[in-house]
Amino acid sequence: MKEIALKTGNTDKHLSQIAELKSRYDDKQKAKIAKAANEFESLLTAMMLRSMTKTTGGMLGEEGYGNDMFDTIFEQQIAVQISKSKNLGIAEAIYKKVTGEEMSSAIKKYDSKQVDIKIDAAALPAKVKPNNEALKRLNRFDELIEKASGEFGLDKNLIKSVIMTESAANHKAVSSAKAKGLMQLIDSTASDMGVKNVFDPKQNIYGGTKYLSKMLRQYNGDLKLALAAYNAGPRNVEKFNGVPPFDETKNYIAKVLGYLNHFRESDS
């Protein structure tokens, strides 16, 4: 395959033929445009690295079994990290050319793992306000919740709502069914999610969020079905072809949604 020399003297020239679209985009569409622009910048950066190391036979040299393959892997990973830390401004230029807007910090942090939750905001039950002591406990885990939210693409307020409903933010909580910790994981679920210590807040929040995101994807973003599966198990959701007719599960869903209504309003 013939090597293509890369010239990057005038990056704007490569963008000049991109069609300028005047239609408006919603946040989800903007996020996808930003993701594509960032991926293009990473690819371009990888090509630049390859061009710069061409005379030395690659990053690892010409000799050595599999060096060409490892070169490609390292170039791609280094390019991604360069784009994340000190980008070249190419992604922002593409984004502005397409949308006519600057790329906001929120859009830059878009995660392709983001789960689209289907819930009618107008149908949310009355707000449920946590008591002050529980809220103080919950606030101690803000950083862990933020990280889990970004890792699995879940609304941080949903994670908070589940924690409040499950344990009132008591990381030492144990239920009569032997569910444990902040997000009340049973041993089998904890093991499946890679949690070794359910009483470690970091591991528990990570495992609970991972499981909840799994349920949301399994039920195509239907929040009520995902919460029903989290509470009563997916087998019961399948058995009853919807939310199981258990008072505990119905009350659980209503309480989580009530907290969610409260936290969302507090954020606005």
Q: Which residues are catalytic?
A: 166
Whether residue 78 contacts residue 38, with contact meaning beta carbons closer than 8 Å, is answered with no
> Would you call 118 helix, strand, or coil by DSSP?
strand
Helix (H, G, I), strand (E, B) or coil at 180: strand
Query: Distance between CA 112 and CA 150 in Å, rounded?
Result: 10
According to the 3-state scheme, what is the secondary structure of 213-263?
HHHHHHCCCEHHHHHHHHHHCHHHHHHCCCCCCCHHHHHHHHHHHHHHHHH
Give how far Cα 260 sits from Cα of 127, 189, 223, Å: 8, 24, 11
Residues 108 and 39 sit within 8 Å (Cβ to Cβ): no
Give the C-alpha separation, 161 to 226, whole Å. Answer: 14
Task: Tell me the sheet residues that pair with 222.
Answer: 118
Sign of the torsion formed by the C-alpha atoms of 223, 226, 232 and 235: positive
- CA–chain centroid gap for 267, Å, is 19
Is the CB of residue 249 less than 8 Å from the CB of residue 228?
yes
